[in-house]
Structure 1
């Protein structure tokens, strides 16, 4: 009898140990996935900020208003600091990055000196304008290097956790660290930039999403799962895991991880509890050789928006890189483009999958109708406010959001200078130059290099 009891107790202990071990393994996998996601987010943020540095520098070359030039140069200064923060979160410390330090020091020093002075009384000299052009050209080189690393990530089964484990050793060929060193010592060693912006000066998108979603009908985890499967049009083999999203969000949301074995892909998605709105999602898989063009990609995106009940959205910008089409849509009311009400999609050019979606702007800013004012100045008068170096090719009426988060009616002009295309917004009431954006070109495919 005692022997049987001992055997039973031992069996319970063995089973208990097995359960404990399984739980430990499960917890370890979840922590590893969380860390990997953090590194992936930091790298994509870094890539985004490197793009911003080039964009902000490009904008200054097309501006004809000193009122806009000072904050634009200050933005260059700010974005450099954000890139440094993202880089510090990546497991690639210890690399020597003198070239990048010199480049970013020049940007920080020049943008600081010019942004703090009164440019109305002391405008940019021809020499300073040439300096801006030089910095802009250099930034394009660094952006290209980041694209090459991004292509490597998408086309190889590499993980940042593995990079962290070997960070003290010599960088392996085609590792993340190797790519960082081979791209001319770029991106790692950002110089310290004092920005001084307080938390209150930084826009709280989470809070705005909370306000926009509040009061909508709540959905369950099962309803979120079904909505995601229908939106993505996935087969019966797809599995969905739904968890409560991070407490860091101001609004209740679900975090979905979707495995699609049929297409050898998986998705990460955030969906709001109130209203069941997809906030963003991203597909992870290798994108193969391009088989469809930009026009067909736009058709795929249009069909997706129709399926998502996003009516009245018009394509306002399109480009492609690494076999992806990047498409920006804005809501249009009575022929006026409402730019704050926007959605950005990425379409894979191998099979037409929607591989990325960001709908924050649409959720925050969408209204069924707006009380739009009539322009107080003519289109010809507005065009006369543009930098004479810019050749205007196209125009529209639009609503944009100012730095003070106020909507203004503008004339939107598309123009070119050398090999760059710009989108320039002139206030339709005052004639002031409100904003200048450099349009992104189609980029080379780095995935096969």
Structure 2
């Protein structure tokens, strides 16, 4: 009997030890997830800051350069860096309306640079008005860079972590969002709103920057209707809680005004909520971001591509073909372009990000598609393949030829797309199917992380 009295305390002691070990492991896993998420957000912010610094430097160089050739190179760099900064900022955990003016400024920098680049290629010099406009953009980028540097210092001083910025009070994700980056970016947004508007002629006028999306429809959705769209998109049975964000006073200036939601799946820590945006007009899912970390790679790039293609079909995106991809942080990002009448329509682009541990879709962006998608009346080419081929270097080793619609300014151009090699490097050359003009040349970079074009 005396021996039996020790059985229950022994069992309870073992259970207590097991519980402590389990709890410690759960806490460690949670902290690791928080660390991964923090690192992702900080990396995006630092990348955006670096791109803005490069914009400022290249604008300064363009102001003193007298060489058209040098300016074409600088303006190309400015355009790419501005678009890259915009892309990184759009992935931060803030609503699109809170950085609408900043996005508009970066778009203006990129588009004006492209417009000047086209003028240079046509043999024109910079006018005094154009130099004045460049100076205004340089001042704006310098102010922007200064604000980002101040935010960078603030992050370092406050030992920024997801845990202390997310907040722990129940039902206050709106406050958490502001604490993350929105408060500081919001002050930057006010400064960017003071930047002077550029007035210039050409395909990238402010009217074009603010063009209306054509792939949404006219029906206006309420917040509750938009929430239902978000639930259906992610699978309502898997959802534990949906929290809407405030729309913000600048929602009307966003390219696609949208409702934004934080969605918590069942049996998921609140730090790993999914963010999603649903358009006010048409009720379309504009973007979705699942910030969970991916530690193991269990599926191939081909399997991930098949999963992405299946996902698009399930969501109603028909006739989409994969074109380019990028592997990073345990995920694979795919660009899908719409195809009509055997013509690849690059303006109608959708991005899908797949986790390589289990094939889950962890990212989605249809904003470009929704801005541009429509039924097109595609004209018959004036040139044949053979005639277009004569516009390409004789020693360019061609692998494939197809028709494609490419964006150029406010226009869409029907081109023959020639993929091939020149001196062991891969390139794509676009020849206008109507005029025979060489419209664009892209270099293809292939490695173990995917396929990109420059």
Shared fold (TM-score, shorter chain, > 0.5): yes
Q: Specify the SS of the correspondent of 1:439.
A: strand
Partner of 1:309: 316
Query: Residues 373-396 of structure 1: CA distance to partner in whole angstroms, max 9, x if unpaired?
Result: 111112123233234564321121
CA 87–412 in structure 1, closer or farther in 2 if over 3 Å, else same: closer
Q: How does 1:89-100 map to 2 (within 5 A)?
A: none
Q: How does 1:181-192 map to 2 (within 5 A)?
A: none
Distance in structure 2 (CA, Å) of the matches to 1:238 and 1:371: 45
Is the counterpart of residue 165 in structure 1 residue 171 in structure 2?
no
Distance in structure 1 (CA, Å) of the matches to 2:306 and 2:321: 12
The offset of 1:235, in angstroms, is 4.3
1:259 alignment partner, one of 264, 268, 272: 264
The offset of 1:284, in angstroms, is 0.5
CA 300–37 in structure 1, closer or farther in 2 if over 3 Å, else same: closer
Is contact 2:262–2:274 with CA below 8 Å preserved after alignment? yes
1:207 alignment partner, one of 206, 210, 222: 210
The offset of 1:217, in angstroms, is 2.0
Partner of 2:223: 221
Is contact 1:345–1:354 with CA below 8 Å preserved after alignment? yes
Distance in structure 2 (CA, Å) of the matches to 1:38 and 1:239: 23
Q: Specify the SS of the correspondent of 2:273.
A: strand
CA 371–322 in structure 1, closer or farther in 2 if over 3 Å, else same: same
Give structure 2 stretches of 5+ with no counterpart.
1-37, 56-67, 90-112, 124-151, 161-195
Q: Specify the SS of the correspondent of 1:429.
A: coil
2:348 alignment partner, one of 341, 358, 362: 341
Distance in structure 2 (CA, Å) of the matches to 1:272 and 1:49: 28
Is the counterpart of residue 278 in structure 1 residue 285 in structure 2?
yes
Question: Which stretch shows the higher mean deviation, 196-205 or 275-284?
Answer: 196-205
Is the counterpart of residue 379 in structure 1 residue 372 in structure 2?
no
CA 85–400 in structure 1, closer or farther in 2 if over 3 Å, else same: closer
Distance in structure 2 (CA, Å) of the matches to 1:211 and 1:73: 33
CA 218–352 in structure 1, closer or farther in 2 if over 3 Å, else same: same
Partner of 1:300: 307
2:411 alignment partner, one of 406, 413, 436: 406
The offset of 1:160, in angstroms, is 9.5
Query: Residues 37-85 of structure 1: CA distance to partner in whole angstroms, max 9, x if unpaired?
Result: 9977644645778999xxxxxxxxxxxxxx9997565221444567789
Distance in structure 2 (CA, Å) of the matches to 1:378 and 1:297: 37
Partner of 2:401: 395
Partner of 1:184: none
Distance in structure 1 (CA, Å) of the matches to 2:281 and 2:428: 35
Distance in structure 1 (CA, Å) of the matches to 2:350 and 2:87: 24
CA 86–232 in structure 1, closer or farther in 2 if over 3 Å, else same: closer
Is the counterpart of residue 441 in structure 1 residue 436 in structure 2?
no
Q: Specify the SS of the correspondent of 2:295.
A: coil
Partner of 2:76: 75
Query: Residues 97-145 of structure 1: CA distance to partner in whole angstroms, max 9, x if unpaired?
Result: xxxxxxxxxxxxxx9xx97997789xxxxxxxxxxxxxxxxxxxxxxxx
Is the counterpart of residue 287 in structure 1 residue 280 in structure 2?
no
2:437 alignment partner, one of 432, 441, 444: 432
Distance in structure 2 (CA, Å) of the matches to 1:202 and 1:42: 29
Count of matched residue pairs: 307
Partner of 1:241: 243
Distance in structure 2 (CA, Å) of the matches to 1:116 and 1:372: 25
Distance in structure 1 (CA, Å) of the matches to 2:296 and 2:205: 40
Which of 1 and 2 has higher RCO (CA within 8 Å, sep 6+)? 1
Distance in structure 1 (CA, Å) of the matches to 2:444 and 2:198: 30
Distance in structure 2 (CA, Å) of the matches to 1:355 and 1:422: 31
The offset of 1:310, in angstroms, is 1.4
Partner of 2:198: 198
Give structure 1 stretches of 5+ with no counterpart.
1-34, 53-66, 89-110, 122-158, 168-195
Is contact 2:54–2:78 with CA below 8 Å preserved after alignment? no
Is contact 2:214–2:370 with CA below 8 Å preserved after alignment? no
Partner of 1:142: none
CA 49–443 in structure 1, closer or farther in 2 if over 3 Å, else same: farther
CA 48–85 in structure 1, closer or farther in 2 if over 3 Å, else same: closer
CA 82–323 in structure 1, closer or farther in 2 if over 3 Å, else same: closer
CA 393–354 in structure 1, closer or farther in 2 if over 3 Å, else same: same
The offset of 1:416, in angstroms, is 2.9
The offset of 1:441, in angstroms, is 2.9
Q: How does 1:37-48 map to 2 (within 5 A)?
A: 42-43=45-46, 45=48
Is contact 1:36–1:160 with CA below 8 Å preserved after alignment? no
Distance in structure 1 (CA, Å) of the matches to 2:211 and 2:268: 36
Q: Specify the SS of the correspondent of 2:427.
A: strand
CA 78–372 in structure 1, closer or farther in 2 if over 3 Å, else same: closer
Is contact 2:52–2:85 with CA below 8 Å preserved after alignment? no
The offset of 1:397, in angstroms, is 0.5
